[in-house]
């Protein structure tokens, strides 16, 4: 089973992905985590992208596409991936489909966590204290939310058309969301 988890920054994608990974033995592919690792390891790519990430903009589709393909092509992860933070644009959604097709895979469900800007601001400030991410401050949080609003609509429509989209109230408590997600996943497992 391949799952896409989708939503604005601070929606709880990472938290819910970890829960799904543990419960269903999947591998989490977080493009944000992979990109932050490049910065931390001071790679060439890391220095190229750090300003973009810290300004709340999106990294190029090409860069993230390459990261994704490396993961999808790895036989150990075959049809066992949760995509966290990817795709974030229509081009990325189309790209993901063609990469998956190339490796004989598909997406089984898209979970969209909906949360308001107010909640995003609150959660990001809380996370800053715990994780000290450079892009977790109020101004950048607002910028990241706006970036999401601008690019997410076509992605949502894309998955709605293919009947894969399930919308979840991301304002609910963590365990309530866990339960809702489990129900949806059990539903597709049949
Ligand atoms: P995240 O950890 O998912 O909130 O991502 C943090 C930052 O990494 C984003 O604000 C973007 O700058 C960058 N990023 C993560 N995933 C993507 C993606 N799929 N496409 C472009 N940029 C991304």
For a substitution probing ligand 1, which of 10, 46, 58 has the most ligand atoms within 8 Å of its CB?
58
| 172 bridge partner residues | none
Query: What pLDDT does residue 107 have?
Result: 98
How far apart are the CA of 50 and the centre of ligand 1, in A? 11
The radius of gyration of the chain's CA atoms, rounded to the nearest angstrom, is 16
Domains of the chain, earliest start first = 3-189 (3.40.50.300)
Atom of ligand 1 lying closest to residue 35 CA: 8
Per-residue pLDDT of 95-114, as tens digits, reads 999 999 999 999 999 999 99
Per-residue pLDDT of 7-57, as tens digits, reads 998 899 999 999 999 999 999 999 999 999 999 999 999 999 999 999 989
Strand order in the sheet with 81-84: 27-30, 81-84, 3-6, 109-114, 165-169
How far apart are the CA of 181 and the centre of ligand 1, in A? 23
Is the whole model's pTM more than 0.85, yes or no?
yes
Beta-carbon count within 10 A of 36 CB? 18
């Amino acid at each position: 089973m391949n799952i896409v988890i989708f939503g604005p920054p601070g929606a709880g994608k990472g938290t819910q992905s970890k829960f799904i990974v543990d419960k269903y033995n999947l591998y989490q592919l977080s493009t944000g985590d992979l990109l932050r690792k490049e910065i931390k390891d001071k790679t060439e790519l890391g220095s190229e992208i750090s300003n973009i990430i810290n300004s709340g903009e999106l990294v190029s589709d090409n860069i993230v596409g390459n990261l994704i393909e490396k993961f999808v092509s790895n036989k150990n992860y075959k049809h066992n991936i949760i995509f966290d933070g990817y795709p974030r644009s229509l081009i990325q959604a189309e790209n993901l489909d063609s990469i998956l097709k190339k490796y004989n895979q598909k997406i089984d469900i898209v979970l969209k966590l909906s949360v308001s800007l107010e909640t995003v601001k609150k959660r990001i400030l809380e996370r800053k204290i715990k994780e000290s991410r450079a892009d977790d401050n109020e101004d950048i949080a607002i910028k990241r939310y706006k970036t999401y609003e601008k690019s997410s609509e076509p992605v949502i429509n894309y998955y709605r058309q293919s009947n894969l989209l399930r919308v979840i109230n991301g304002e609910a408590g963590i365990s309530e969301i866990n339960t809702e997600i489990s129900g949806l996943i059990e539903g597709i497992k049949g």
